[in-house]
Amino acid sequence: MHYETGLLILVFVILALFIGASVRHLLKGTQIPYTVALLVIGLVLGLIHRTDIFENYTPMFAETLDVVVDISPHLILFVFLPTLIFESAFAMEVHLFRRMFVQIAVLAVPGLIVATLLTAGLAQWAFPFEWSWALCLMFGALISATDPVAVVALLKEVSSRKRLETLIEGESLLNDGTAIVFFSLFYGWVLSGAGQDVNVFAVAAQFSWVVSAGLVIGLVVGGWSIIWLGRVFNDPMIEISLSIMVAYLVFMLAESIHVSGVVAVVALALMYASIGRTRISPEVAGFLHHFWEMMAHIANTLIFLLVGVLVAVRVPLTDWDLWWALVVLYFGIMVIRAVAVTLFVPILKRIGIGITREKAIVLVWGGLRGAVSLALALTVAANDLIPKQIGDQVMFLCAGIVVLTILINGTTMGWVLHWLGLDQLPSAKQATVDKAQGEINQTLNQMLPEMMTSEFLKGADWESVKEVARLQVDLQMNSQRTPESQSISSSELAVACKRRLLETERKHYWSQFEQGTLGKVATSKLVEAVEHALDGEPEIGPRTELHNAWKTPKWISTIREIKGLRRLGTRLAFDHLAQGYDMARGFLQAQDALADHIDVLASDQALAEQIRADVNANKEGTLQHIQYLRESFPEIIHALETQAATRLLLNRERALIQQQHKLAVLDKPEAERMIMDVEARMMALQRTQVSETIRSDQLVDCMPWSRKLGKDVKDQLSQMMQPVIYNAGDVIAEQDKPQHAIGVIVRGTVEATQQWDGMHACTSYGPGETISALALLSSKSPATYVAESPVEINWFALEKLKSLMLRDSQLARAMAPLVSESRISDN
């Protein structure tokens, strides 16, 4: 009986997911990598399929494996690669990736070039085949693409070393892209018979073009999709669908114009993981990450099972020359990997976060090969322009290396990590974990007396309860694990403690963002500030970066000076003030939360007091800034606090509706309608800008000399007025320099200094007072004006003001006293 191809593919997917679930369940509690077990099962199924067992007893399954064996290599690349690359880059800690980018790039580009050239030399001189140099280079490129998924999974399980994980995974991402680029170049040489006269500059130019174009495609499409995401509010169907669409779109678009699809997807995913994180709805972010983890799990399940079957069925097993070449190749690529890493260790030690001997060994032993190499080998084997014998040789050697590296390196990686001491947390970090565990056990022990007197629990065997809960054992272990016994220095403990606290602070910002109490821009800047504090020696305070972020940037001041863009500059200045207040409020809440963890994580009382002093200093400086804003810009603070209170109430309203739905008080359609109404109000609130809440007519009324003017004149002054905000210390105007406007202080204080005949005089101006009024006569600034605090000044252009004074005598009379009183007296 013949079955349709689509049905057979569905059967394979169903069986693969069943096998994957069964394997994952059976491997719980073991250190056997999931992907290694799937590969072995695939090999067994493929070897059985080489006999007639499946065909005789399960013809449908036999036909399913036949379809799998004939799969197109392009299908492997286009179906699985975008998912695996996007998930890996999306889950990466972007801050660490940025810090380690140069290290990753060194390993992924120069490192891969060295590996490719040495492997090509090995193939040319050690293999018993007559391969051309072009073919050897092509083989060197395809066999150098690493796929350390089993290693990264093991690291996450046994030691949680984020830096090492990022280095290995980041190298793999860029390594795959580099390998595919060079493979495509050398593959073209093999097909055309060219490549004997290699032009290094042409190769470098083509490589740069392919990578740069892929990067641009990823950034452009990523930017467009992130803008779209920013306009979507809490709609997981749209946001998740969009992420899937763009991941495949950038890969297909890049490959269609023969540039790097891998680089395009990596760029896209890193954008989503960084600036895109605050554009994705907080309610959807967690679900989106879980969705992509599931997508990657399914892809890995299918691809490793698929690789096992392909290798076992399609690889020729009777050519002993191939077996000998495989043995030579395995040991050869291990040595080549060691050479490629060792060659760049002196550089890697001096850049990024550095590298140790132990981590370099993990890099060498963790250079597994996987689906990318196999897909490229299948491309060679499937091309009719390449002799079948050569295609079979490439396929055998590549498949053999994939199997050997996964089975040997993958299964022994746990032992290697143990031998190097990397299968556990660093001692100082473990000490903070032990201290936290001790606090948990102490809390649980405090609960016991109340539980033992409970009417429903007093008959329990409490010794058995303590034994199962391991309370007594854990308390004894924690009492024995002292810093002195582990020979951990106080500086190491302090660094580990501060790092934990900063990571707690960063998590608190994301929690505020998810709860809707912290804006997108404020969240991004606060998280970035924490990540900078984590660089090098972690420091709780002072946070000078945040204090600088509160100041109005120079580029906004520049925009305000450009005619026609002044209103835009003013709006940006108001929005920046609002963001500064949002940041300050979020920072204060995080510092309060941080204080609750100090005693739990600090190794001794002296360290706890030092950290608490830093936290208090942070809070004091922030409160001072908030007080400045309250005094200088009360209406902005009023608008922001109104927004925050509204946002909190709307979040609470939505949570109550969801709770009522769970309790069946509300039916699903009713709850959905009510939630849609709440979220519509949330969206409208989110799009409201602070500058829109400040009315210009209110600002005109704050000027004493304008209060008796007619409404028409006030309206004209309102249209003429240009509000500008200055930071404390900014020079507003300089004496005797051309001045084209007079200003009225709305809030804040300004110091005026006038110099003449070797003498000088100073005075301060406050809200409602006018500065540079004498410019109406001289068109020059009568003094040097400097902002003593954050200041807002309404400016009136001299030409427009003079014109209006000619038309309105009441305004002219109101301005006359200002001009006569504007010169600073000698006293």
What confidence tens digit (pLDDT) does each residue in 96-115 have?
888 889 999 999 999 999 99
743 within 8 A of 771, measured Cβ to Cβ:
yes
Alpha-helical segments (H) within 315-458: 320-350, 357-365, 371-382, 388-404, 411-420, 427-452
What is the mean pLDDT of the segment spanning 609-621? 90
The alpha-carbon radius of gyration of the chain (Å, integer) is: 34
Q: What is the pLDDT of residue 136?
A: 94
Nearest to 693 by CA among 638, 628, 647, 645: 638
More confident of the two residues 810 and 694 = 810
Record: fold of 5-420: Na+/H+ antiporter like fold (1.20.1530)
Q: What is the pLDDT of residue 518?
A: 84
Amino acid at 25: H
Q: What is the pLDDT of residue 327?
A: 94
More confident of the two residues 64 and 628 = 64
What is the mean pLDDT of the segment spanning 639-649? 82
What is the mean pLDDT of the segment spanning 137-159? 78
Q: What is the pLDDT of residue 702?
A: 59
Our CA angle for 215, 221, 227, nearest 5°, is: 130
340 within 8 A of 140, measured Cβ to Cβ:
no
Q: Rounded to the nearest 5°, which phi and psi values hold at 761?
A: -140, 145
795 within 8 A of 771, measured Cβ to Cβ:
no
Q: What does the pLDDT look like over 399-431, one tens digit per residue?
A: 889 889 988 988 888 888 888 887 777 766 777
Length of the chain measured in residues:
827
Give the dihedral of Cα atoms 589, 592, 597, 601; nearest 10 deg: 100
603 within 8 A of 554, measured Cβ to Cβ:
no
For 696-821, CATH number? 2.60.120.10
Q: What does the pLDDT look like over 685-740, one tens digit per residue?
A: 777 665 555 544 455 555 667 767 777 887 788 788 887 888 888 888 888 888 88
Q: What is the pLDDT of residue 690?
A: 59
Q: What is the pLDDT of residue 699?
A: 52
Q: Has residue 331 got a pLDDT over 60? A: yes
Q: What is the pLDDT of residue 498?
A: 87
Q: Which of 82-96, 169-183, 563-577 has the lowest mean pLDDT?
A: 563-577
Crossing angle of helices 73-90/261-273, nearest 10°?
A: 30
- Cis? peptide before 542, omega within 30° of 0: yes
Q: How many CB atoms lie within 10 A of CB 663?
A: 8
Q: What does the domain layout of the chain look like in residue ranges? A: 5-420, 443-480, 490-632, 643-693, 696-821
Q: What is the pLDDT of residue 235?
A: 86
Confidence band of 576 (pLDDT split at 50, 70, 90): confident
What is the mean pLDDT of the segment spanning 272-284? 88
Q: Which of 50-59, 179-188, 758-767 has the lowest mean pLDDT?
A: 758-767
Q: What is the pLDDT of residue 807?
A: 85
72 within 8 A of 65, measured Cβ to Cβ:
no
Query: Whole-number mean pLDDT of the chain?
Result: 83
Q: What does the pLDDT look like over 448-473, one tens digit per residue?
A: 777 877 777 777 877 787 777 766 55
> What Cα–Cα distance (Å) separates residue 624 from each residue in 303, 393, 585, 620, 790?
58, 73, 12, 6, 12
Q: What is the pLDDT of residue 160?
A: 64
Confidence band of 599 (pLDDT split at 50, 70, 90): confident
Amino acid at 815: M
267 within 8 A of 214, measured Cβ to Cβ:
yes
> What Cα–Cα distance (Å) separates residue 460 from each residue in 451, 456, 468, 807?
10, 9, 13, 94
Output the pTM of the full model.
0.81
Distance CA 291, CA 85 (A): 14
Strand partners, 761: 754
Q: How many CB atoms lie within 10 A of CB 565?
A: 13
Burial 359-370 (b: 16+ CB within 10 A, else e): bbbbbbbbbbbb
Distance CA 361, CA 363 (A): 5
What is the mean pLDDT of the segment spanning 647-674? 87
Nearest to 497 by CA among 544, 441, 539: 539
Amino acid at 806: L
Q: What is the pLDDT of residue 428?
A: 66
What is the DSSP code string of 171-230?
HHHHHHHHHHHHHHHHHHHHHHT--SS--HHHHHHHHHHHHHHHHHHHHHHHHHHHHHHH
Strand partners, 764: 751
What is the mean pLDDT of the segment spanning 728-753? 86
Distance CA 114, CA 120 (A): 10
Confidence band of 489 (pLDDT split at 50, 70, 90): confident
Distance CA 396, CA 127 (A): 13
Pair of tokens at residue 182: 């060079």
Q: What is the pLDDT of residue 541?
A: 79
What is the percent of the chain where pLDDT is above 70?
92
Distance CA 739, CA 729 (A): 20
Q: What is the pLDDT of residue 286?
A: 86
- Give residues with Cβ within 8 angstroms of 626, minimum separation 6: 581, 584, 585, 588
Q: Has residue 636 got a pLDDT over 60? A: yes
Q: Has residue 61 got a pLDDT over 60? A: yes
Start-to-end C-alpha separation, the chain:
110
Distance CA 332, CA 118 (A): 9
Q: Has residue 546 got a pLDDT over 60? A: yes
Q: Has residue 196 got a pLDDT over 80? A: no
Q: Rounded to the nearest 5°, which phi and psi values hold at 401?
A: -65, -40
Q: What is the pLDDT of residue 129?
A: 85
Distance CA 78, CA 454 (A): 61
Q: What is the pLDDT of residue 433?
A: 74
Is there a common fold for 5-420 and 696-821? no
Distance CA 3, CA 11 (A): 11
Q: What is the pLDDT of residue 482?
A: 47
C-alpha 684, offset from chain centre: 27
Q: What is the pLDDT of residue 826?
A: 39
> What Cα–Cα distance (Å) separates residue 253 from each residue in 181, 208, 214, 216, 258?
15, 18, 9, 11, 9
Q: Which range is most confident: 227-231, 313-317, 458-462, 474-478?
A: 227-231
H/E element, 636: helix 634-662
Q: What does the pLDDT look like over 217-259, one tens digit per residue?
A: 999 999 999 999 988 888 889 999 999 999 999 999 999 998 9
Q: What does the pLDDT look like over 423-432, one tens digit per residue?
A: 777 766 777 7
H/E element, 510: helix 490-515
Pair of tokens at residue 718: 């309102």
